[in-house]
Every structure is written in structure tokens, then in C-alpha cells.
Amino acid sequence: MLSLILGGSGSGKSERAEQMAADSGLPVSYIATMASQALNDTEMRERIRQHRERRPSHWRTIEDRMDLETVFHEASGRCVLVDCLTLWLSYYFTIGWGEEAILSRLHRILEAAKGRTSPLLIVSNEIGMGIVPDNSEARSFRDLTGRANQLVARHVGHVEFMVAGLGLCLKGGSSS
């Protein structure tokens, strides 16, 4: 099953995906998409530390790899949790890829993932519900994220929207 877990900051989306991964009964590969190697942001390093501490030690954590197609292939037979799509998009956006190239790559990744026989859980932020950003770059990223979330939602069988730690099933079954 391919699933998308959406929500805002602090909504419980990561925790929900982690619970779904644990409930799968399979070995878990956790793909952390924050490009952390050269990270100079103290607050973000603290968030990363909290996420690391929350994960079970027997899960395989894959960090600083954006080649999701290869990682999915390497994790055959395992539950794969991608946390999060928004940071993956941000990586390509900040190195200068255009929206069309990013969405095309994401589409290829999703097409390749269709053949998976084990769960794939994708966490993403819903960033389009706030104020309109005051600059073009931020508006472009907001729009890219919305389009990417739509693309993923079309490809997966299950979509949940998290609010205040509660899941609302948008597609394909029940929520938490």
C-alpha cells in the first residue's frame, strides 16, 4: 500500500506515519530527506535530534540521500517511510531545479513505486492553508508543494490529513 500523510507543522503527521510503519510488522527503512550534512541551523538540528530519538533503534535510517528511486529499490520487502516530501522538494528547489523538472522526477519515482509489495508511507506538509507569502520565491515553493501533494495523492491508495494529532481519511480507508 502506498500512503500519503499530510498535515501542518506539529499536526502529528510524522508520529502517525511512524505508528503505521511500526504496525506494518515489517522491517522499516526511514528516509530522512533533510540535507543535514552542511546544516548550520541550530533549531533544525534540534528537530532532527528529536526525530532520531523517537525512532526505534532497529529501524534502518537513511539520511542525506535524495535518490528515492534507488533507495526504494534497496529497501525491497521493507516498509519505507519518507519524512518528508516537503524537504525533498526544498532540496531540489534550492539547488535551482524548476517546477517541471522536480514534478517530472517525482512522477518517475511514484511510477517506480507502484510495483512495491510492501508499504510506502510519504509524509508531506500542507503549506497552502496559511497566508499568501510576500515574495515570489516563497509563493513558487508553496505552489510546487501543493502540486506535488496532488501528484502523490493521485498515485497512492491511502491519504490522511492530520490535525491536532487526529487523522482524517481523505482516500482509501480509515484513519487514526
Question: What residues act catalytically?
Answer: 51
Quickly list DSSP for 85-122. HHHHHHHHHHTT--HHHHHHHHHHHHHHHTT-SS-EEE
Distance separating alpha carbons of residues 104 and 158, to the nearest angstrom: 22
Distance separating alpha carbons of residues 61 and 29, to the nearest angstrom: 6
Determine contact, residues 119/172, Cβ cutoff 8 Å.
Answer: no
